[in-house]
């Protein structure tokens, strides 16, 4: 006899538990949509994405918004796609951007503080993935050496 006690009274605790489980399942589905499998597109949860590819986000937003005087402390490579670490970091920033921009209150502030501020100094820093590149020259870093077992 589900949903009712032995004396015929409704089992409010069971109904409340079922309702809470349903809400939690919905929230899990929402979170799954926001954080797709690695390499996938940001979620399309009824709100269109601002940029439909990593290339579009980097070219139309990142590279035009977060500019620095290049050389010395700050590095960039026009061939950024050939730097695996940079691609991973930029992809993470893009996915977080698409998820957090939907929060009209503090989403972008959280994105700037928790995501961009750290990644920007690593990406563009003189010891980052573009360390050996200049404005006019691409120089990819070699993979870390690994001894065969």
Q: What does the pLDDT look like over 45-95, one tens digit per residue?
A: 566 889 999 999 999 999 999 999 998 899 999 999 999 999 999 999 999
Residues 6-51 have pLDDT tens digits of 666 667 777 777 667 666 555 555 555 454 444 455 555 566 889 9
Do 44 and 28 share a structural domain? no
Do 133 and 67 share a structural domain? yes
CB 14 within 8 A of CB 2: yes
Do 76 and 137 share a structural domain? yes
Do 109 and 86 share a structural domain? yes
Do 49 and 64 share a structural domain? yes
Is the Cα torsion angle 36, 54, 119, 88 positive or negative in sign? positive
d(CA 100, CA 110): 8
Do 28 and 99 share a structural domain? no
What is the tally of structural domains in the chain? 2
- The residues pairing with 60 across neighbouring beta strands, listed in sequence order, are none
H helical segments located in 44-135: 54-57, 63-65, 84-100, 107-111, 117-124
d(CA 70, CA 90): 18
Do 44 and 2 share a structural domain? no
pTM of the model: 0.68
Range of the domain at 27: 1-34
Do 109 and 90 share a structural domain? yes
Let me know how many helices (H) and strands (E) the chain has, helices first: 6, 0
């Amino acid at each position: 006899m589900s949903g009712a006690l032995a004396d015929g009274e409704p089992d409010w605790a069971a109904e409340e538990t079922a309702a809470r489980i349903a809400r939690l399942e919905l929230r899990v589905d929402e979170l799954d949509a926001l954080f797709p499998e690695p390499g996938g597109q940001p979620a399309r949860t009824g709100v269109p994405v601002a940029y439909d590819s990593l290339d579009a986000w980097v070219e139309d937003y990142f590279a035009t918004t977060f500019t620095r005087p290049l050389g010395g402390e700050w590095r960039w490579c026009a061939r950024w796609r050939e730097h695996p670490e940079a691609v991973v970091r930029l992809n993470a920033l893009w996915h977080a951007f698409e998820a957090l921009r939907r929060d009209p209150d503090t989403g972008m502030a959280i994105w700037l503080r928790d995501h961009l501020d750290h990644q920007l100094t690593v990406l563009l820093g003189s010891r980052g993935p573009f360390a050996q590149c200049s404005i006019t020259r691409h120089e990819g870093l070699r993979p870390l050496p690994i001894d065969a077992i």
